[in-house]
Structure 1
Amino acid sequence: MKFPENSYISSIYGIGKLKSLSELYIFNLRDVSGYRIGELKNMTDLYKLGINRLENVKDGEEARNAQLCEKRRLTDLTLCWSDIHIDSTNKYLDENVLDNLHPPKCLRKLKIERYMGARSAIWMNNVNWIFNLEEIVLSDCSEWETLPSFGHLPFLKLLELYDMPKVKWLESKFNGNDRYRAFPLLEKLYIGRLEALEDWFEAGVTAEEGCLFPCLIQLYLVDCSKLKELPSLPPKLKSLEIRSTGWKTLNFCSNSNPIPLESLEVFDCPNIISLPLADEIARLAALRSLTIRYCPNLISLGRYRQVEDTNNCQLMLNDLHINDPSVLLMEPLRSIASLKRLIIVHNDEVVSFPNELEQWFLTVTSSLSYLIIYKLKSLQCLPSTFESFSSLQYLQLFDVPMLRELPNLPPALKRLEIEGCHRELKERYGEDGGSDRHKIAHIPDIFIR
């Protein structure tokens, strides 16, 4: 947790005497007089409060002395246990303490870090008490098993869950309801390192048709290898990032509406076989940024539907980030003509660009303005078609140790950066008497290191 620079205020002895204080970003508890949680009892004007080192609270009764539920202006609350507390085995104490840190109903933002209890606080399971929450962040709570029914919160817009390895599903049963409108206003969902997460719902719970994340704009999933695929992408989703998941494909919406997705990143997903971009190309007019890295079993980006006029349907990508150049030969990337920025990184196998890829580069000569090649350990030569790249302005070559020679570079190139390449290349093009320095003399900014 990052604390503001003025967090030194928490070192004031007997801070509870500052009864009119409205913000206390972080209060570091100590087990000594003047620094215990009871100091908060009469600070009724607080609207923003952070409490750290909650392991120094001896029991639930002492936690109740903070009287959080009486602070009628409190809208932003952070509750933290310290790093050393992670090894604690007294989960029942943590549960008792959290049960008694009951916030008021006006709370809008809640953050909990390093809580070692296995269950949610009692007040968290009563949707009427947390009804007004708009932002929830839970992190490093390694013993927590079952989450509250956050999907019922009518105003929740942001949910972040990190490092909670025992959570198995995102949403559980609530008051016997098996079907409901899930997360009705949620816009941003970030889930990271929930290794046991298997499904979006507990068995027997189902969202109403088309009503799972109806307002979701950003979805970020990292290290959730067991998580099942979504039945369909949320209808308003603009940004999707999946890393280290077990997904095999993406399920786009089954209706015929345009797909608003602007950015898609698929990273380190060994089970991914297909990304059906070509299938939905007519509905993916908004897609501008695409990343596909470390997906060794990817064999298809979909197929064009026969009913569509594919001559008028192309991805209008601006940015493409890959580690395997062969994906450039898969439709719809094979026919792309709008690309402005291409990044090829981390590949130890590519020695050169075969003729088919040389031809592919010719399709983007009039649009590509930025090319980065980074950590291609075996690459020995660049595309010979470089001279025809009329729009290329920036070329960066980082850690390409086998590259000894540059092709003729386009006259419009403004910046050339070369770092971590072969000694011979430095000698040929370096500014200290390089024999081929004249070939790149037209470039205004040159950095060869």
Structure 2
Amino acid sequence: KEEASNSGVREKYRLVELNLLWNSNLKSRSSDVEISVLEGLQPHPNLRHLRIINYRGSTSPTWLATDLHTKYLESLYLHDCSGWEMLPPLGQLPYLRRLHFTGMGSILSIGPELYGSGSLMGFPCLEELHFENMLEWRSWCGVEKECFFPKLLTLTIMDCPSLQMLPVEQWSDQVNYKWFPCLEMLDIQNCPSLDQLPPLPHSSTLSRISLKNAGIISLMELNDEEIVISGISDLVLERQLFLPFHNLRSLKSFSIPGCDNFMVLPLKGQGKHDISEVSTTMDDSGSSLSNISELKICGSGISEDVLHEILSNVGILDCLSIKDCPQVTSLELNPMVRLDYLIIEDCLELTTLKCMKTLIHLTELTVLRSPKFMEGWKNLVEEAEGSHLRITASLKRLHIDDLSFLTMPICRTLGYLQYLMIDTDQQTICLTPEQEQAFGTLTSLKTLVFSECSYLRSLPATLHQISSLKSLHLSSCESIDSLPHLGLPGSLERLFIAGCDLLRDKCVEGGIDQHKIAHVRETILA
């Protein structure tokens, strides 16, 4: 200690940065000696940046603990200080902005001893906090009625396999001593023992989250516009993750693939925490997702409650895409939303639609591999007619794999339809007379596409009646062997045939149907 004191470090008032590095290769190292040496290396109070590396002492030096002599520190890095058993009250450092702990192998718990006490505590200026490779660390405890880390922007916890507890309560909107109110980025990796995760994002400022192998979550990624959550496949116990949707202010894509073994729920699923109690960050329109134009929702882990909570927080929305949601049976949209484009794919149980006013202005609809949707659409149209509303009357583009809509009241509302694509219909062999007649009622249709309708043997016989039709596309419809007997409409300007060998052979030069396409300005036979 005397030699260390005689080094003159304490008198170097112009010293800004100090790195204290112990030789890790020395076999005989005394903890008491290293404690004395570090005590003697007390720097001048003007020091701004300090690193302590490979220190094997079990305690903090007094100048970093009881009297906090280095009160002007802005950054502190403690690396591989494996004997250090208790952290000093660093929360009392008034100017500390960056704090890193790495390889602190003797730290079992972090709590009030770190935050400090008195009038100055709780890391008033800390912006970056990093924990890494702390193999024995088990718990991070909070304290009540104190708002700590008021300016923290980045929190990182990596490779802490024993960590079980985070100060979850302090992240909640339900307390007036909320921690991390300004947090922008959260990164937790390889912390598999975590018992509970806080509701994320806990604040509208938190725009980037990366969780990998963190408790119940094998992957959760949130950037400014997209959130992806994946579950751990071998979970036995029922586990839950709560999401405060009112804080997902810029969300455009929401994906929870393969999470059948645990539940992802809106925050109100916590019982006393009702969404209406925590929606203080909503704007004047009452919708926290009010500024987005496109929202994509997909994944088998999305429950009906989650879908409802997302959609109830949506304001102005141009495009909504819902894919691969087998748990969802009903769709309810905020009546204030003006939706232009709706995409439904692989929603096998979606039967009920509760979005009458929302669909009045719908101009584009895609429905694929969702066999019960058509019944819900039919019921909604019939209900709307009783209320003198014209559901989907503004529809201009329809992409669908089920021709049954042609014989439903739906078809009567499609007077403005300009684009119709029948895609991957693997059931229809021949059109019924009613379906044939329905094609003739599509008086505004300009483009008609049949794609991968493998069993369909013939095109609508009434095709020539659609005087508005400009373009006809036929792709991979192997069973169609001829054009309609009465030919194609005289208005047709473009004909595209690909993967329809039987039909193509009759339309090429010298084929028996060549005369039926002689008036078409552009013909592509592939």
2:369 to 294, 297, 302: 294
Deviation per residue, 1:308-352 (Å, 9 max, x gap): 224x66521122111111134344444211112111111221112
Figure out how many residues of one structure are paired with residues of the other and give that number: 343
SS in 1 for 2:426: coil
Deviation per residue, 1:254-311 (Å, 9 max, x gap): xxx543122212211121122245xx1x55333122122212234232232466224x
Q: Distance in 2 between matches of 1:377 and 1:370?
A: 20
Q: Distance in 2 between matches of 1:193 and 1:420?
A: 34
Counterpart residue type for residue 308 of structure 1: S
2:156 corresponds to 1:92: no
Change (3 A) 1:360 1:145: same
The structure whose Rg is larger is 2
Matches within 5 A, 1:3-14: none
1:189 CA displacement = 4.1
2:230 corresponds to 1:163: yes
2:360 corresponds to 1:285: yes
Counterpart residue type for residue 393 of structure 1: K
2:508 to 410, 430, 439: 430
Q: Distance in 1 between matches of 2:402 and 2:155?
A: 43
SS in 1 for 2:450: strand
Deviation per residue, 1:183-222 (Å, 9 max, x gap): 2734424223151344223432320089588132443222
- Residue of structure 2 in register with 1:117 after alignment: 191
Which structure has more relative contact order (CA 8 Å, sep 6+)? It is 1
Q: Distance in 1 between matches of 2:312 and 2:129?
A: 42
2:292 corresponds to 1:251: no
- Residue of structure 2 in register with 1:48 after alignment: none
- Residue of structure 2 in register with 1:208 after alignment: 276
2:370 corresponds to 1:304: no
Deviates more, 1:216-225 or 1:333-342: 216-225
1:182 CA displacement = 2.4
Q: Distance in 2 between matches of 1:285 and 1:373?
A: 27
2:471 corresponds to 1:403: no
Q: Distance in 1 between matches of 2:414 and 2:153?
A: 47
Counterpart residue type for residue 303 of structure 2: L
Change (3 A) 1:228 1:60: farther
Q: Distance in 1 between matches of 2:230 and 2:219?
A: 17
- Residue of structure 2 in register with 1:442 after alignment: 519
2:415 corresponds to 1:337: yes
Deviation per residue, 1:38-65 (Å, 9 max, x gap): xxx9xxxxxxxxxxxxxxxxx96179xx
Deviation per residue, 1:94-121 (Å, 9 max, x gap): 999xxxxxxx99875x5969x4433789
- Residue of structure 2 in register with 1:132 after alignment: 205
Q: Distance in 1 between matches of 2:369 and 2:155?
A: 37
Q: Distance in 2 between matches of 1:359 and 1:210?
A: 54
Q: Distance in 2 between matches of 1:411 and 1:241?
A: 37
Question: 5+ residue gaps in structure 2?
Answer: 1-50, 52-99, 105-125, 131-151, 166-179, 234-238
Give TM-score scaled by structure 2 length.
Answer: 0.54
1:380 CA displacement = 0.3
**Alpha carbons 1:147, 1:170 under 8 Å: kept:** no
**Alpha carbons 1:184, 1:215 under 8 Å: kept:** yes
Matches within 5 A, 1:28-427: 61=102, 69=128, 92=161, 110=185, 115-118=189-192, 132-133=205-206, 135-136=207-208, 138=210, 141=212, 144-145=215-216, 158-165=225-232, 168-171=240-243, 182-183=246-247, 185-193=249-257, 195=259, 196-201=262-267, 202-204=269-271, 205-208=273-276, 214-216=287-289, 217=292, 218-225=294-301, 227-229=303-305, 230=308, 233-238=312-317, 239-245=319-325, 246-253=327-334, 257-276=335-354, 280=356, 282-298=357-373, 299-301=375-377, 302=380, 303-305=382-384, 308-310=387-389, 315-365=393-443, 367-407=444-484, 408-422=487-501, 424-427=502-505
Q: Distance in 1 between matches of 2:200 and 2:229?
A: 23
Q: Distance in 1 between matches of 2:365 and 2:453?
A: 20
1:443 CA displacement = 1.7
Counterpart residue type for residue 372 of structure 2: N
**Alpha carbons 1:259, 1:286 under 8 Å: kept:** no
Q: Distance in 1 between matches of 2:193 and 2:406?
A: 48
Deviation per residue, 1:389-441 (Å, 9 max, x gap): 2222222111111000012112222221111113x32221024x323222212
Change (3 A) 1:328 1:117: farther
Counterpart residue type for residue 415 of structure 2: A
Change (3 A) 1:146 1:426: closer
Change (3 A) 1:336 1:272: same
Counterpart residue type for residue 249 of structure 1: S
SS in 1 for 2:435: helix
Q: Distance in 1 between matches of 2:315 and 2:386?
A: 25
Change (3 A) 1:92 1:300: same
Counterpart residue type for residue 275 of structure 2: A
Q: Distance in 2 between matches of 1:439 and 1:319?
A: 27
1:162 CA displacement = 4.1
Counterpart residue type for residue 328 of structure 2: W
Q: Distance in 1 between matches of 2:313 and 2:519?
A: 49
**Alpha carbons 1:143, 1:165 under 8 Å: kept:** no
Percent identity of equivalent pairs: 21
Give TM-score scaled by structure 1 length.
Answer: 0.63
Q: Distance in 1 between matches of 2:336 and 2:277?
A: 18
Deviates more, 1:395-404 or 1:349-358: 349-358
Q: Distance in 1 between matches of 2:242 and 2:218?
A: 7
Q: Distance in 1 between matches of 2:153 and 2:479?
A: 55
